[in-house]
């Protein structure tokens, strides 16, 4: 298979993540390519809208990063340990577009708030 050019990587990233609304989802288990992981539910959890900036090349990978903070609601119940994050094309249901393991899985307790600061959440393709 031929490798994608930097131009093609940027076009794909723009199309998938910048032409419509996309949302961050939190998972307790690996969602995998078939989106079968356990997403957080209850306790005021809701996927959050995310906006991405222009694609760039980082370490020869097409990369986009969030252009503003993503802030989840305050947890009103324990959400469990967040081990994966994903990007979906809908606030509920929809399709999983990308996912990855978090660097430091963390238990979300009552009154906690999950947030990703600007430029902290990225999606890469190579």
Q: Which two tokens stand for residue 113?
A: 């708030």
pLDDT digits (tens, 9 = 90+) for 13-55: 999 999 999 999 999 999 999 999 999 999 999 999 999 999 9
Instruction: Say whether pLDDT at 62 is over 90.
Output: yes
Instruction: Say whether pLDDT at 65 is over 90.
Output: yes
**Per-residue confidence band for 126, with pLDDT thresholds at 50, 70 and 90:** confident
Residues 6+ apart with CB under 8 A from 123: 13, 17, 52, 63, 64, 87, 98
Instruction: Say whether pLDDT at 1 is over 80.
Output: no
Q: Which two tokens stand for residue 18?
A: 């910048």
Q: What number is the average pLDDT over the span 5-14? A: 96
Other beta carbons within 10 angstroms of residue 56's beta carbon come to 14
Q: What is the pLDDT at residue 2? A: 83
pLDDT digits (tens, 9 = 90+) for 75-118: 999 999 999 999 999 999 999 999 999 999 999 999 999 999 99
CA-nearest of 11, 43, 9 to 28 is 43
81: left (phi over 0), alpha (psi -120 to 50) or beta: beta
């Amino acid at each position: 298979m031929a490798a994608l050019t930097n131009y093609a990587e940027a076009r794909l990233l723009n199309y998938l993540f910048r032409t419509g609304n996309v949302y961050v989802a939190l998972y307790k288990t690996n969602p995998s390519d078939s989106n079968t992981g356990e997403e957080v539910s209850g306790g005021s959890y809701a996927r959050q809208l995310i906006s991405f900036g222009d694609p760039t090349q980082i370490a020869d990978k097409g990369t986009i990063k969030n252009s503003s903070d993503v802030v989840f609601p305050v947890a009103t119940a324990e959400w469990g340990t967040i081990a994966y994050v994903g990007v979906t094309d809908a606030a509920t249901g929809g399709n999983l577009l990308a996912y990855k393991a978090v660097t430091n899985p963390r238990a979300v307790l009552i009154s906690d708030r999950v947030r990703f600061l600007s430029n902290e959440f990225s999606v890469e393709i190579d």
